[in-house]
Structure 1
């Protein structure tokens, strides 16, 4: 599993330029341009278009390398109740709260859907 923080921004292009200046490369970009992946050695930074309260927020997400149902079974066995896997434009996602009540997102990608 890879770590993938998601940085919400009202200006995805400017945010992409900022992180490129820090040394990250640009990977896959969604067709509408509201999602940019910026690979790094230990994962990637994702920049997601947003407005309002989400601007400036960062969310912890992980890219799963196995079916989300298998991850959900392990979470339940450990006493955590994830939400159901959801169909997304990029594949599937599932959210679960950590012990502090902070939401963590798990994504299983089908990159052919948006690249």
Structure 2
């Protein structure tokens, strides 16, 4: 089975600011482009990628978060998705490597990058992720059962929270942790934070809400 990792993609006008914010929470940088427009960051379970919005070839806007993934063998993943009924799964080459594109539930186009072995043009860090942290995006305007079927086709447990359907589809960058939330909150003096019964609501450098669930 293909090893698939969820990796929300945040388009941002402030890559370094978002990187510093996520590192404060507990994420660790793994790979960054030498020109500084891309960083991907690890948790114990899942990843977050940061992309400079100004250099986006797809029109990504600052603060926009897309649902994406990384996988070891995207040809095997394409076959699995086709068997699950996602028949438009297509593999193609980009300048940075091989990519799978597929239309998921709610008409959302999902990209899955194949893990690259050639790191030319990138800086690789010795990332040691904090195992207490996980990436658990919140999908609003989503059809829950359809998304669960999609994740089964991908071959992974559903690592997302799903909000009410009926509104426009959107992805919020949520995280979960077993770290004490008071300790997390104590590191966030430079950010606007609201403590709730279930976690922390934080305004990130893009002005977007990020929720950390305890």
TM-score range (shorter-chain normalised) is 0.7 to 0.9
Unmatched tracts of structure 1, length 5 or more: none
Distance 2:72 2:86 in 1: 20
1:33 to 27, 33, 36: 36
TM-score, scaled relative to structure 2: 0.49
Q: Kindly state the Cα deviation for residue 65 of structure 1 after the two structures are TM-superposed.
A: 1.7
Q: Which has the larger radius of gyration?
A: 2
TM-score, normalised with respect to structure 1: 0.85
Structure 1 residues 54 and 82: alpha-carbon distance in aligned structure 2, compared to 1, 3 A threshold: farther
RMSD: 1.8
Higher relative contact order (CA 8 A, sep 6+): 1
Distance in 1, Cα, partners of 2:38 & 2:117: 12
Equivalent pairs counted in the alignment come to 114
Write the distance in 1 (CA, Å) between the matches of 2:113 and 2:60: 23
Structure 1 residues 48 and 74, CA, compared in 2 at 3 Å: closer, same or farther?
Answer: same
C-alpha separation in 2, matches of 1:33 and 1:82:
33
Q: 1: distance between equivalents of 2:64 and 2:21? A: 16
Question: Among residues 78, 88, 91, which one is paired with 1:82 in the alignment?
Answer: 88
| 1:46 lines up with 2:49 in the alignment | yes
For residues 61 and 53 of structure 1, the distance between their equivalents in structure 2, rounded to whole angstroms, comes to 13
